[in-house]
Copies of this chain bind each other. A is one copy, B any other.
Amino acid sequence: MSNDAELPLVLRSAYLALHRASNAQFASHGVTADQFVLLATLSEGKAITQRELALRMSSDPSTVRAMLNLLEKGGLVRRASHPTDARAKSVSITTAGNRKFQQLWKAGQKIRDKMYDSLDPDEATALVSLLRTIADSLTQESAADLRLANTVLG
């Protein structure tokens, strides 16, 4: 195995460390790390569709639905019919959900502090920027992919 593997592997181990720490921190609140991300995505207040929610939190509609079912049971989230598109649902966070999110945000401060304290401010900025670049490189269809798609589709 060449050292090309370094970046993927360390990306994985950094994320898993974050994910574990978050789950441990949120467990006593009855919420998972991924559910926290969903609540955070809704916490700005605007109602969005399930599809958009999935997109924004790097998930997929089927997974989001399973998560919403759990969160709705706990009264943290609400689904209403969409005002203009009868196919769509309009998902929003409830008052209880917002209260829960505030608690979770506090509970997670220790974790964010650990991460940011380990870096200089400019390093943190650089890291965010580099991670965004990586994420984009993996989600954008490459030129080669598009050529292939055109070939296949005729």
Cβ < 8 Å to B, chain A residues 4-18: 4-18
State whether the Cβ of A128 lies closer than 8 Å to any Cβ in chain B: yes
Tell me the interface secondary structure of chain A in the complex: helix
Q: Which of A12, A16, A131: most chain B Cβ within 10 A?
A: A131
> Closest residue to A33 on the B side, CB-wise?
B12
Take A118-B133, A130-B123, A138-B114 as given contacts and tell me if A37 and B58 are in contact as well, using a CB distance cutoff of 8 Å: no
Take A17-B135, A134-B115 as given contacts and tell me if A1 and B43 are in contact as well, using a CB distance cutoff of 8 Å: yes
> What's the tally of chain A residues with a CB closer than 8 Å to chain B?
52
Residues of B within 8 A of A20 (CB): 138
Residues of B within 8 A of A37 (CB): 9, 12
Give Cα A67–Cα B124 distance, bound, in whole angstroms. Answer: 35
A135 adjacent to B44 (CB under 8 Å): no
